[in-house]
Amino acid sequence: MNINEITFLVVEDDDFQREVIADILVSLGASNIIEASTGTEALKILNEEGSRSIDIILCDLNMPEMDGMEFLRHVGKLHSSIATIIMSALDLALIESVKKMAGAYGNYLLGAIEKPVTSVQLEPLFAKYKTREKKSVFDSTSGSKYNLDEILEGLANGEFTPFFQPKIEFATGRLIGAEALARWIHPQHGVISPYAFIDLLEKSENIDTLTFIMLELSTKACKFLHAHGHKISISVNLSLSSLADIKLADKIIQIVKNLEVDPKFIILEITETAAMTEMAPALENLARLRMKGFGLSIDDYGTGYSSMQQITRIAFTELKIDQSFVREMNSNGISKVLINSSIEMAGKLQMKCTAEGVETKYDWDQLRNMNCDLGQGYFIAKPMSLDDFLIFCNNIK
């Protein structure tokens, strides 16, 4: 889509600044520009029956009648497909907070820019809009394409398997391990990602079936890789809802023991955002697993409300920084500070620190300079089948 095909709505209460922004848009090639001096007026334009379709909204935050926060709330609820750009001269930390709020309300946020607005600020955001990759219905509906009976049938038929995403040591570039990520190899539809089945399995209390399949296949893969000269660890995700079963640790220990793999090569990742509803049995299971030599990883660190408390409760051996912080590291100074402090804290607690979502060389260089231990993400490699992962292992030597 060319910029002259995009319809802009500029929401700015200052007449002069609104005119300047419109002139900048025209200089960039825009020909469809609608202006509003208040959030109330802008909402009326958006809701007006038969009005032209708006593609991108440029919105000030500090406005009379209806401020930018309230306006973004309405847009998120009623017009979430419209891209928005926040414009403000306010404190950067406050702008970052508003960005988070907009995301929580469902806004499609292109970004936030400081005033005075310039074409240099806008051009990369427009490029981002034009190259936007729309997720398929399948990927974004969290499993609505398949019902529970189909998923359970697939589990019974052995259609689920782990794909492996490498974990690389920043300091040396060595392959240290891999995370096993569940994939459904559907006989008609091919490789299906976890969005299509995890939620349904957890809500129906069938997640343990997948957990034990993944654990057994991942442990077998670990043994296979060791036999081919790659003494690496494999990480397997463990749902906190499973930890309410007091026998869970014993079942995990038995599976790994039967396959003759040293537990120190199996890391169990516990999602930090999940609520630990059954505290006592969960802590007993995790303590027993740690005592038997398993690694314990706190996954998606920083996205929950009890991060520090979880670390004091459980003897974690690894801290995984959530990819959302890594993704914003370049544009959000706060995220960078939090990553740096997490790395330092992990080191002081004698835990390995792994950064997820390493997607660019910039990410890699920044994290390496902050002395992060391990990296995982598309810059290194996408998740892959065991056969492809073995090829990766052989080539990285």
Residue 307: per-residue pLDDT = 58
For 32-86, the pLDDT digits (tens) are 999 999 999 999 999 885 446 899 999 999 888 888 889 999 998 888 889 999 9
Percent of the chain exceeding pLDDT 90 equals: 59
Distance CA 173, CA 33 (A): 50
Residue 274: per-residue pLDDT = 46
Tokens 């060389």, residue? 361
- Among 172, 185, 183, 241, which residue's Cα sits nearest to residue 214? 183
CB proximity list for 254: less than 8 A, separation 6 or greater: none
Helices (H), the chain: 15-27, 39-47, 68-78, 92-104, 119-130, 137-140, 148-156, 198-203, 207-227, 248-258, 279-291, 307-313, 323-327, 333-348, 361-369, 386-396
**Highest mean pLDDT range out of 166-175, 199-208, 278-287?**
166-175
Tokens 């959000």, residue? 332
Residue 141: per-residue pLDDT = 37
Q: Is residue 229 scored above 60 in pLDDT? A: yes
Q: Is residue 94 scored above 50 in pLDDT? A: yes
- Among 56, 57, 63, 61, which residue's Cα sits nearest to residue 13? 63
Domain ranges, ordered by start, for the chain: 3-130, 139-396
> Rounded to an integer, what is the distance from CA 367 to the centroid of its chain?
17
Residue 52: per-residue pLDDT = 62
**Mean pLDDT of the chain, nearest integer:** 87
Q: Is residue 133 scored above 60 in pLDDT? A: no
Q: Label residue 129 by pLDDT band (50, 70, 90).
A: confident
**Highest mean pLDDT range out of 3-17, 218-232, 260-274?**
218-232
Whether the CA torsion 142, 147, 148, 153 is positive or negative: it is negative
Residue 295: per-residue pLDDT = 96
CATH superfamily of 139-396: EAL domain (3.20.20.450)
Q: Label residue 140 by pLDDT band (50, 70, 90).
A: very low
Residue 324: per-residue pLDDT = 83
For 284-340, the pLDDT digits (tens) are 898 999 999 999 998 866 555 445 667 777 889 999 998 888 888 876 778 888 899
Residue 102: per-residue pLDDT = 87
Instruction: Confirm whether pTM is higher than 0.95.
Output: no
Q: Label residue 20 by pLDDT band (50, 70, 90).
A: very high
In CATH terms, 3-130 corresponds, of 3.40.50.2300, 3.20.20.140, 3.90.650.10, 3.40.50.1980, to: 3.40.50.2300
Q: Name residue 267's beta-bridge partners.
A: 235, 295
> Tokens standing for 238?
């463990």
For 164-187, the pLDDT digits (tens) are 999 999 999 999 999 999 999 999
Distance CA 230, CA 390 (A): 9
Residue 105: per-residue pLDDT = 87
Min mean pLDDT across 93-97, 296-300, 352-356 is at 93-97
Mean per-residue pLDDT for 149-171? Answer: 97
